[in-house]
Amino acid sequence: MLQLKIRNYNSGLVYNNLLYIDLYDKWITSDPDTRWLLGELTSQFTDKTVFWTPTGDWTYQDRYVELLITTTRGLPAASSTVIELGTTELPLGFYDITIYQNSDGSNLDPTGLNVLYKGVANLTQDFALGGTEPVVYTEYTTNDADTESIYITNTAV
């Protein structure tokens, strides 16, 4: 599973996620000047998809490709190389991720492209620059007045 992070809303900073993935053995052409990639993220919660063109460093291609996935949340604005995540349609959580061998540097359509990688990514927020965590858990104390009641909340009819 891949880990992706975003920064606080409108922080003005992008988050550069560096991933190390073995892509070279699935590449079907040997021309080093046409190593364009296309990324696809689909939220498992909302089923919404976003496409972008990630950057790859092929220096150690026999072992791994260093993939740069740049994320934003609000400001700066999204572009073909920067994806906006952490929105209503693309929330925190699990994503299906696919990396394609792209036909050119600006194509955002995966039709007919060679699949290099398929997997799962987990999107979380980086709290290093501050911000409030979305869920804060507190210890449970037994302060219930009625501790012997059973409540049925979901029944099949």
Q: Which two tokens stand for residue 41?
A: 């993220």
pTM here?
A: 0.79
The pLDDT of residue 155: 54
For residue 141, which phi and psi values (nearest 5 degrees)?
-120, 150
Contact present, 14 and 6 (Cβ < 8 Å): no
Of 157 and 62, the structure prediction assigns the larger pLDDT to 62
The pLDDT of residue 42: 97
Residue 49 lies in a domain: yes
152 band by pLDDT with thresholds 50, 70 and 90: low
Mean pLDDT of 121-128: 87
Residue 13 lies in a domain: yes
Residue 33 lies in a domain: yes
Residue 131 lies in a domain: no
Question: How do residues 51-77 score in pLDDT, each as one tens digit?
Answer: 999 998 989 989 999 999 999 988 888
In percent, the amount of the chain with pLDDT more than 70 equals 80
Tokens 């190389």 found at: 81
Report whether pLDDT(23) > 60: yes
Contact present, 120 and 19 (Cβ < 8 Å): no
Handedness of CA 22, 94, 106, 6 (dihedral sign): negative
Question: How do residues 140-149 score in pLDDT, each as one tens digit?
Answer: 666 666 666 6
Residue 109 lies in a domain: yes
Report whether pLDDT(157) > 70: no
Q: What CATH number does residue 11 fall under?
A: 2.60.40
Of 104 and 138, the structure prediction assigns the larger pLDDT to 104
How many domains, the chain?
Answer: 1
Extended beta strands in the chain, E state: 2-6, 15-21, 37-43, 49-52, 55-57, 65-72, 82-84, 93-101, 114-125
Mean pLDDT of 115-119: 95
CA dist., res. 84 & res. 114, Å (int): 25
Tokens 């501050």 found at: 130
CA dist., res. 153 & res. 157, Å (int): 13
Q: Domain containing 90: what range?
A: 2-125
Tokens 């220096």 found at: 59
